[in-house]
Structure 1
Amino acid sequence: MQHVESDSLANNRSVLGVAAGVLITAVALWALVRHFGGGAAAAGYDWDFGSLWKYRTLLASGLGYTILFTIVCVALGLIVGLLAGLGRLSTNPVITTPLRAYVEVFRCTPVLVQLVWFYYALPVLTGIELSAVGAATLCLALYGGAFYSEIIRGGIISIDPGQTEAAKAIGMTRFQLMRRIVLPQAFKKMTPPLMNQSIMQLKNTSLLSVLAVPDLLYQGQVIAHDTYRPLEVYTFTAIAYFAVLFPITVWVKRLEYGTGPKEA
């Protein structure tokens, strides 16, 4: 009971600490806006967030597209990552070598370069035309899958080998071993890093604007060009991303405490 109370207290302190950090950051940002806003006003620029109201439908559709795109890419990335992670556990170099090459290529090149390559270069090499949405989906799914695969592989190999040996001794097949013993335990360890990588996937969607995919940032760029109000538009865009990501980061922090080592 004492350990449960201490974990709950640590959780509450963590959330309060994050909230305090957010409050301090918000105050600092507001001070900067007031400072530079005063300078902008003196130069003939007046802040007017009300001008964005008539574009609310466009902004909402951009935010919805961003969230939907993230969900699809995360789901596909997890499937790719699970298959690649399990494949890399094989002792057959014919399987592990190409999988390792895939992981290293996607982990060691910038995602923006990958997006441009998939949209412009891949159709030339394969003869298959890809839309901007198709190229972006394929790229981010494979990019996320490379990171997910390492998280999954690391979670699996972290399980005590003695459990594997015991399961084999009682006649379990490899599939039964993974399904009943290894994966349930590994999933608890993998959940926080998987969630953190999924947060990165959502932030990576801001790069889709280079392919004219109608996400939140792209719609913001359209509005900024139409209204000549880039400060208000990009400030709102940043706030929208924060409003989506902050609750998720707090939840992930709680998961990290919940899956951490417990004292006996």
Structure 2
Amino acid sequence: MHDWNFLAVFADWEFLLLGLVNSLKVAGLALTFGVPLGLLIALGRLSRIRPLRILCTFVIEFFRTTPPLVQLFWFFFALPILIDVRMTPFIASVATLSIQSSAFFAEVFRGGINSIDKGQWEAAKAIGMTRGESLRRIILPQAVKRMIPAFVERSIELFKTTTLISTVSYADLMFQANELAQKTFRPLEVYTVVAGIYFLLILVFSQVSIVLEKRLALSGDSTVR
């Protein structure tokens, strides 16, 4: 029977904390770039310009259906060969997760925009608004409110996906956990603690999503999945 001993793990808690901070940093930057990029891609897919619509549809489907690990390896190992630049694990991680998440956020945006009654587009047009003005001043403010729970869920998925970036030697939580497990010879304890960290953080995010959904339901707004 295993002799559990977490003292070695907790003695190096700063080691894991650094990894957690790095994971959150990558996830935060991926959200910062991925959300606006997702909006642009969604608008492109909703565009009346057929070539642009086809291109954006392809981007969405490609990055939603190919494994994120393959995308990460391509950005880290293959892209530098094509453009002849040095790609750091941090830049490759942020770039991969930003683009990968933007494909999912694009579908959230598209669903939110399409959920708004077409009569509101027509009403905006009737008072002289352009399509862009209608989107910015009438459609998006309503759509974003409906999309909040879906955005929280996608953000949770993004955070879980950061566990892959340890494969390109970026010092995220999983990478630090691997190092600590080899250092202390206590892999069971180390990975148990790491699992607990992910569980607690994602549980908090999930509860936020549930609260938001309940509030939106009370206000009469449906949510977008």
TM-score with structure 1 setting the length:
0.80
Q: Which residue of 2 aligns with 1:127?
A: 84
* Letter matched to residue 131 of structure 1: T
Q: SS where residue 217 of structure 2 aligns?
A: coil
| Partners of 2:41 and 2:56 within 8 A in 1 | yes
Please list every run of 5 or more consecutive structure 1 residues that lacks an aligned counterpart in the other structure: 1-38, 41-45
3-state secondary structure, aligned to 1:259: helix
Match in the other structure for 2:139: 182
The 5-angstrom pairing of residues 94-109 of structure 1 reads: 94-109=51-66
**Deviations along 1:3-61, whole A, 9 cap, x unmatched?**
xxxxxxxxxxxxxxxxxxxxxxxxxxxxxxxxxxxx32xxxxx1100111221111111
Distance in 2 separating the partners of 1:154 and 1:120? 34
Shift of 1:158: 1.1
Structure 1 residue 196 displacement after superposition: 0.4
- 1:218 aligns with one of 153, 168, 175: 175
| C-alpha distance in structure 2 between counterparts of 1:101 and 1:72, whole Å | 24
Pick the structure with greater CA Rg: 1
Shift of residue 178, structure 1, vs aligned partner: 1.0
For the pair 1:244 / 2:216, whether they are aligned, the reply is no
- For residue 116 of structure 1, report the CA deviation from its aligned partner: 1.1
Aligned partners of 1:101 and 1:260: how far apart in 2? Answer: 34
Structure 2 residue corresponding to 1:73, chosen from 23, 30, 34: 30
- Among candidates 99, 117, 123, match of residue 142 of structure 1: 99
Aligned-residue offset at 1:161: 0.3
Q: Which residue does 2:189 correspond to in 1?
A: 232
Could you tell me which of 86, 93, 96 is aligned with 2:43? Answer: 86
Give 1:129 deviation, angstroms.
2.3
Instruction: Give the counterpart letter for 2:156 in structure 1.
Output: I
Cα deviation code 1:160-210 (max 9, x no counterpart): 001110110110122221122100110111111111000001001111110
* Residue identity opposite 1:189 in structure 2: R
Instruction: Name which of 117, 121, 124 aligns with 1:167.
Output: 124
Equivalent residue for 1:110? 67
State whether residues 108 and 150 of structure 2, in contact with CA within 8 Å, keep that contact through their aligned partners in structure 1.
yes
Letter in 2 for 1:127: D
AA aligned to 1:217 is M
Task: Report the Cα offset of residue 127 of structure 1.
Answer: 2.0
Deviations 1:207-240 (A, max 9, x none): 1110111011100000001111000000000011
Which contiguous aligned blocks of 4+ residues in structure 1 show a shift greater than 4 angstroms?
Answer: none
**Partner letter of residue 56 of structure 1?**
W
Aligned residue for 2:179, secondary structure, equals helix
TM-score normalised by structure 2 residue count = 0.94
Q: Which amino acid letter does the alignment assign opposite residue 206 of structure 1? A: T
How many residues are matched? Answer: 220
